[in-house]
Each structure stands twice: as structure tokens, then as C-alpha cells.
A and B are shown apart, each in its own frame.
Chain A
Amino acid sequence: MKITTEFRRGRLTVWLHGELDHHAAKEVIGTICDEIDECLPSSCILDFKGVGFMDSSGIAVILKTYKRMRELNGSLLILNASKQVMRVLEMSGIGKFIGMEEINA
């Protein structure tokens, strides 16, 4: 999985590319946590535009990111989740407390 990040005006954006499964999860959560610890952002955006597949391992990644952001009193937003990703996210009930948006820019 390819991960790109950008930190600007308090906002950390993380673009994920590839398939987010258990095999990829360790590296992804490691990178996200390192970036959060370094930048101490007030908001974090996970952009799923490049994610073709996600399973329940991705739920754990999102929850960990959410907890980390909450410790900083920050917010988390999930962007551009595909239908398959949304179906998995819906199972988790994550949408009730994490913002999700589709931006087709």
C-alpha cells in the first residue's frame, strides 16, 4: 500500500493507495501514528480515493487513528470511500461518530 501525507495549517491529510487489509494495516497505522505524533494536527483526513478494497483490518486502523486524534482533541474525517469500503464501514457503526464525505474534485 502506498501512503502519501501532507501537513498544512493544522490539518494532516493522508492519501491511501491500494488494498487495506491485515497485510497492509501494520505499516499504515504506523505511518499515520508517526505523522500525528510529529505534526500534532488539529484535524486529520483519511482520503480513501485510491483504496480499491478494505476489510475489517481497516476498521481497526480507522479506530486507532480516531482515538489518537481524540487524545489531541482533534477531529477525523474519512473521504471518498468506495461502495465496498462503505459497506464494511457500515458494519462497524463508525459513521455514527466519525465524519464521512465524498468529494469529487
Chain B
Amino acid sequence: MKTVNYIKIEIPSKSTNEGLARSIAACFAAQLDPTLEEIGDIKTAVSEAVTNSIVHAYPDEIGKISIRGRIFDDNTLEIVVQDWGRGIKDIEQAMEPMFTTGGDDRSGMGFTIMESFMDKLKVKSAEGKGTTVTMRRRLSFRTGTKR
């Protein structure tokens, strides 16, 4: 697969940036001529990943979040969200539906949503070092779509 376009941005872990991050991802994905539903799914998945870095990776400090996007020549969008925060002790447990360390402010559905709204989800994490979430979604080819 060849990369046909990419984007890299860095944001501080402030909650005002949640909306910004998902809007940028949606704008970047727009060149693949996605459907409204596809755009909704991408925005939701990105919002979940970025919110996790803001809430869980840096609970009492403002840290750095890197968001990278790539578009491949088979109409696949890849989004990588990386932080250098607390990390996850047990990834398998963290990815279970309804599992949360955030109390009743959180629903524990973030990873479940990322997993089902995207085609692929990979989570890499080390305690005290940080977390990298990689998501891919292949978008539908629509008639008349040009890249």
C-alpha cells in the first residue's frame, strides 16, 4: 500500500482540543469522499482516542498528544493517536466493554466504539511511558470518486 497523503499535528491535552482534533480528522478524511455515516464514525473514534489521552494519560497535568493521519492508495484512512502519559497496565482488560478506571463520569465504551466504528484497532502501551492507538478504516468507493 502506498501512502498518498499524510498529516501530523501536536496538541496539548486540553479538553477544548477534543472538538478540534475530530474536526481536523474529518477534514483530512474528506478527500476520500466519505459518506456522512463514515465521517460520523471517524469523528467518533478519533474523539474517543483523543479524550482517553486527555482524561487517562494525563490526569493531573497537561501533556503532549500527537495525531497522525495517513491515506493509502486503496482508500484506507489511518489515524494514530499517541501520548506519553501513564500508560495502560492491562490492555486486554481496558478494552473490555464497560471497563473504566474513570468512575461514573466515564462509560467504559471508548475502546468498544473505536473497535466497532473502525476496521482495525491496535493499542500499544507501556506503564509510565505512554499509549499509541492506531486505527484504520477503508472507505467505500463511490462512483465518480477521484483521488
Q: In whole angstroms, what is the CA distance A59 to B107 when docked?
A: 6
Decide if the interface of chain B is mainly helix, strand, loop or mixed. helix
Residue numbers in A under 8 Å from B117 (CB-CB)? 87
Q: Please determine whether A23 and B107 come into contact, CB atoms closer than 8 angstroms.
A: no
Count, chain B residues at interface, CB 8 A: 27
The answer, yes or no, to whether A19 is at the interface (CB within 8 Å) is yes
CA distance A47 to B108 in the complex (A): 24
Does B16 contact A56, Cβ atoms closer than 8 Å?
no
Which residues on A are within 8 Å of B, measured CB to CB? 19, 21-23, 25-26, 29, 53, 55-57, 59-60, 63-64, 83-84, 87-88, 91-92
12 contacts between A and B (CB under 8 A): A19-B19, A22-B15, A29-B105, A55-B110, A56-B109, A57-B107, A59-B107, A63-B107, A84-B43, A87-B37, A88-B113, A91-B113
Interface residues, chain B, with chain A CB atoms under 8 Å away: 15-16, 18-19, 22, 36-37, 40-41, 43-44, 47-48, 51, 54-55, 104-110, 112-113, 116-117
